[in-house]
Each structure stands twice: as C-alpha cells, then as structure tokens.
C-alpha cells in the first residue's frame, strides 16, 4: 500500500468532525512543548499557528523568539477572544502582542503563498474536516524549506483525552484503552481522530512534506492531575530521563517535524 493510500484509508475511517477541541496553552504544558521547538532551533521568523484557539500559543511563539505569529481558527468566538487578549496586551504596553495577528478561516488562509517560515498544528489535525486539504493549504503558505510541526494524539497512549460520545451521551474526560481498540469500533465513539505514529507521519508526507523527525510528547498532568502533587513533581523531574528510553513511545502525543521541499 502506498503512502497516499494509507492516508486515504485513515481518512475514510476517521470520525466526523464533532468539536474544535480546547486550548493546551497553559502552565507546564506550554513551556514543555515550546521547549521542544526551542531545542530544535525553530523559534525564529514568521510562524503560522493553525488552530490557534484564543491565541495562547500564538502569543507564546513570539515571546519565545519568533519574529511574528499569525493565528488562524475556524471559530469566530475564539478569534474574538484572541483579538481581545491582543488589544489588552497592547494597551498595557506588552511589546510581543504587536507582532501577532488573527484570522477566522478554515482551509483557505488569507495569506500569500510562501509567506511564512514555519507552521504549528498543536493538537489540531485530529479535529479538521479534511486532513489533506488543511495540510496542503499550510504547504501553500510555507516558503520552500519552511518547517511544519504537527502534534497530535498518539494511539500508543492508553487514554483518549478527547473523551467519547456513546449512546447519545458525551463523556468529556479521558477514556481508558479506547485508543487501543480497532478502528471499526473506536471511530464510532471517538470525538476526534487518534493516530499511530506511522499514520501521522504518512498523513503529513502524503500532503507533500518531507519528514525530518518523529518525536513524542509526554503528559505533564497539568489538566488531569491523576497523581498526588508530590508524585507529579517527581515525575516531571524524571521526564528528561524518560525521553531517553523506549517509554517515550507511550507519550500522550506524537510530534512530527516536516519540511516543505525547496
């Protein structure tokens, strides 16, 4: 089976778009994820934050070194909140806010071709209506050689963080073992897509990107504190060591670093 056939097969079995997902731009989680990009030397130039929600990562990209960050999201209410945050920051004299902008749109971005240096899809691809269309639009606005970072749920992680819909009811908390069920069962109740690492890699490659790195994002227990505080603190101190072991493959998300060919 070819890469494009793998991607098409996955797209056919993906659940329907049910909700846009929530922001992960909080606390330790934001610093940990942007720290990975910083370690790769990526936080420079003009960034596109695709699926920016209320602008938390858009603002942080600039604060961490990007020259400018452009947030796009299909939900007008979230763009309105992002704009309000930007305005409040500018009125308080916070310089980085002047280097952000926001647009409400879906798979057609109001940006010229080859106009951004890098793009971030942080827990977004699993929610879009058409994975290929969104990735191809990102490819259009990326300059040749520009980088794409996709972070999406890792099917090796034994909990589905988006919850599920079952027998007409929404369960909005992590569902144990749901990612490990066969697609034929899991996609009937999942609220968002969930990818094996090779599936996410192949989906990005099928849109015309060259894959540079496949990495994993560990849970930091900011939102769901499943352990006592002292245990979470100890775990966070051990995270750098865990990332050097095979256990990292059970991270909550897979991170794909890709490049638009020159």
* pLDDT tens figures, 114-167: 999 999 999 999 999 999 999 999 999 999 999 999 999 999 999 988 888 888
What pLDDT does 14 receive? 40
Q: Which residues contact 223 (CB under 8 A, 6 or more apart)?
A: 26, 29
- The Cα-based distances of 152 to 42, 215, 245, 257 in angstroms read 19, 11, 21, 12
Pairwise CA distance, residues 14 & 238, whole Å: 35
Q: Per-residue pLDDT tens for 31-58?
A: 999 999 999 999 999 999 999 999 999 9
Whether pLDDT at 3 is above 70: no
Q: Which tokens go with 154?
A: 């890792």
- Intra-chain end-to-end CA distance of the chain, in Å: 27
pTM: 0.90
Q: Which domains does the chain have, with CATH numbers?
A: 3-259 (3.40.50.150)
What pLDDT does 240 receive? 96
Q: Which tokens go with 141?
A: 């606005």
């Amino acid at each position: 089976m070819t890469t494009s056939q793998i991607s098409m097969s996955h797209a056919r079995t993906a659940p329907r778009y049910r909700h846009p997902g929530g922001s992960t731009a909080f606390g330790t989680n934001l610093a940990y994820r942007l720290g990975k990009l910083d370690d790769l030397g990526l936080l420079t130039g003009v960034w596109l934050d695709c699926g920016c929600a209320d602008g938390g990562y858009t603002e942080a990209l600039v604060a961490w070194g990007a020259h400018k960050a452009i947030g796009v999201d299909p939900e007008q209410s979230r763009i309105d909140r992002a704009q309000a945050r930007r305005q409040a920051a500018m009125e308080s004299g916070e310089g980085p806010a002047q280097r952000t902008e926001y647009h409400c749109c879906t798979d057609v971005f109001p940006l010229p071709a080859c106009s951004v240096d890098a793009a971030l899809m942080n827990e977004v691809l699993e929610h879009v209506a058409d994975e290929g269309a969104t990735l191809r639009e990102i490819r259009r606005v990326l300059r040749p050689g520009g980088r794409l970072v996709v972070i999406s749920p890792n099917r090796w992680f034994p909990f589905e963080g988006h919850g599920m819909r079952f027998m007409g009811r929404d369960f909005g908390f992590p569902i144990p073992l749901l990612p490990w069920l066969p697609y034929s069962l899991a996609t009937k109740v999942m609220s968002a897509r969930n990818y094996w690492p090779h599936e996410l890699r192949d989906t990005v490659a099928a849109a015309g990107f060259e894959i540079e790195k496949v990495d994993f994002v560990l849970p930091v227990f900011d939102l769901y504190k499943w352990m006592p505080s002292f245990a979470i603190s100890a775990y966070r101190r051990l995270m750098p060591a865990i990332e050097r072991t095979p256990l990292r493959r059970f991270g909550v998300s897979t991170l794909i670093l890709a490049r638009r060919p020159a």
